[in-house]
Amino acid sequence: MKIALSGYGKMGKIIEKIALDRKHEIVLIIDQHNRAEIIDEDLQQADVVIEFSTPESALENIRQCIKAVVPVVIGTTGWYDHIDEIKQEVADSDGALLYASNFSVGVNVFFHVNKVLAKLMNNYPYYEVQVEEIHHTQKLDAPSGTAITIAEGIINGLDAKQEWKNVLTDGTTVVDDTVKNNQLLIESLRIENVPGTHTVMYDSEVDSIEFKHTAHNRNGFALGAVLAAEWLHGKTGFYTVQDMFNFGA
């Protein structure tokens, strides 16, 4: 398959290596420096674009892929307020798009079990729940896209929570204590060199339940993105990575 990389930072470089190992060809690399010169015909050399750039640039990059009718796999986070518009634009152009807040197998298993657990915990309302995410200090968005997906899974399953609220903390004190009872707290910590750690905590007076995923490196994210590009090839429509993993509802 011919792959274009949109974003060539920490993730783009690992994706390139895994794609080459899997006998794909990288036909175009886009970063901040050449972005302005990229025209639709450049993108159309590729069977699929893999987009891991920045929260500010992702939307424009995605829209150019849709306009050029080139399938796009999106790992970039921080653009999710526009998902409904993008879904409509993909439908209007008969394009192909797959996105994920997290492409790793482990996190997608975690997402599934998190939803089951949230429904179960309706029976035990004396547990208070919160989410914690820890990432490296270069991360531009908070909360992480993964934490948002986890929070949505809890909110859909657990009657006591209706919305999430994010607090950036230094790990010792919660800076903002205005979280309401119906809000699910997502604490974000930024610590040097952490690839991504997510924990769901249910806490009661007598005990705590902690459900945790720790990424040891970025290889699982990158492999998942390449597998998603292979899966999307030849399809049209709007997909999430859950369509690929197919763990069920």
Ligand X SMILES: O=C(O)C1=N[C@H](C(=O)O)C[C@H](O)C1
Ligand Y SMILES: NC(=O)C1=CN([C@@H]2O[C@H](COP(=O)(O)OP(=O)(O)OC[C@H]3O[C@@H](n4cnc5c(N)ncnc54)[C@H](OP(=O)(O)O)[C@@H]3O)[C@@H](O)[C@H]2O)C=CC1
77 binds ligand Y (CB under 6 A): yes
CB neighbourhood size of 93 (10 A): 15
Q: Catalytic one among 10, 139, 165, 233?
A: 139
Helices (H), 136-200: 145-157
Structure-token pair, residue 177: 């204590």
Phi first, then psi: give them for residue 3, nearest 5 degrees.
-115, 135
6 binds ligand X (CB under 6 A): no
Q: Which stretch binds ligand Y (CB under 6 A): 8-16, 42-50, 116-124, 226-234?
A: 8-16
Our CB check for ligand X shows the closer of 6 and 144 to be 144
**Minimum distance of ligand Y from residue 125's CB (angstroms):** 33
144 binds ligand X (CB under 6 A): yes
Measured CA to CA in angstroms, residue 68 lies from 62, 73, 165, 174, 206 at distances of 10, 14, 37, 46, 57
Q: Which of residues 101-120 bind ligand X (CB under 6 A)?
A: 101-102
Nearby residues of 6 by Cβ (< 8 Å), 6 or more positions away:
12, 30, 49, 50, 51, 52, 53, 61, 65, 72
Q: Which of residues 221-240 bind ligand Y (CB under 6 A)?
A: 221
Whether residue 75 is annotated as binding a ligand: the answer is: yes
**226 touches which of ligand Y, ligand X, none (CB within 5 to 8 A by kind)?**
none
Nearest to 237 by CA among 116, 131, 94: 94
Nearest to 229 by CA among 54, 47, 68: 47
Our CB check for ligand Y shows the closer of 32 and 182 to be 32
139 catalytically annotated: yes
Structure-token pair, residue 180: 């309401």
145 binds ligand X (CB under 6 A): yes
Phi first, then psi: give them for residue 200, nearest 5 degrees.
-105, 130
Binding mask 192-231 for ligand X (x = CB under 6 A): ----x-----------------------------------
Q: Which residues are annotated as a binding site?
A: 35, 75-77, 100-103, 136, 145-146
Residues that bind ligand Y in the complex, under the rule CB under 6 A: 6-12, 30-33, 35, 52-55, 57, 61, 75-78, 100-103, 221
Residues that are catalytic: 135, 139
